[in-house]
Amino acid sequence: MVGRVFFLRMTAPANRLILASASPRRRELLAGLGVPFEVVIAPVEEHENPATDPRVMVARNAALKADWVAARRPETLVLGADTTVFLDGTALNKPYNAAEARTMLRRLSGRTHTVFTGLALRCTARGLRLDDCAASEVTFRTLDEAVIEAYLAQVHTLDKAGGYAIQEQGGLIVSGHTGSLTNIIGLPLENVKQLFARAGLSV
């Protein structure tokens, strides 16, 4: 049996995609699609009011990043993204310090929460503005203080929404999830591929 060979077809020129994000996790996930891209970090002030509808928050922040870069690189396709954790009507964004990370893990303990990621794909020269949002659910184990301290000792949590990363020692704290795993990590690749297809760039 002859194996199938997959080709990357791009109607946009190679290296004409920018990821407008400082997240190394998004960089790794996007690289897995095989699409050439560069990273440009947008120095924007993200909206992080925990009382805001999480879908609105992540959509607004993803658009802020993508729009800032797209305005300066008008010929280039720009992808922006933003992720938050949502529980009991409140968004849990990146913790400011270890104490806040502990508080977040205690709140998530034994509960199921939702992870939202907003996506914004832009190309100013083409007048292209595409947006999407993904949602997944994560269920935590019941965590005692020893487990919380062990997790914080092994994982840098200050750059992660909710104070955790499912891909880093997730077995210590997570009992299961539903929906896109890459969304929980920070970049829902299924949705990204759909946006790329709509923009004429397909994997």
Is residue 87 within 8 Å of residue 155, measured between CB atoms?
no
159 noted as active-site residue: no
Which of left, alpha, beta for 86 (phi over 0: left; psi -120 to 50: alpha)?
Answer: beta
Per annotation, catalytic residue among 53, 67, 82, 144: 82
CA atoms of 70 and 167, how far apart (whole Å): 30
Report which DSSP code applies to 13.
P
CA atoms of 141 and 149, how far apart (whole Å): 14
Cα dihedral sign, 78-130-158-160: negative
What are the φ and ψ backbone dihedral angles of 195, each rounded to 5 degrees? Answer: -65, -45
CA atoms of 96 and 43, how far apart (whole Å): 18
| Pairing mode, strands 90-92 and 77-87 | antiparallel
Q: Annotated active-site positions, please?
A: 82
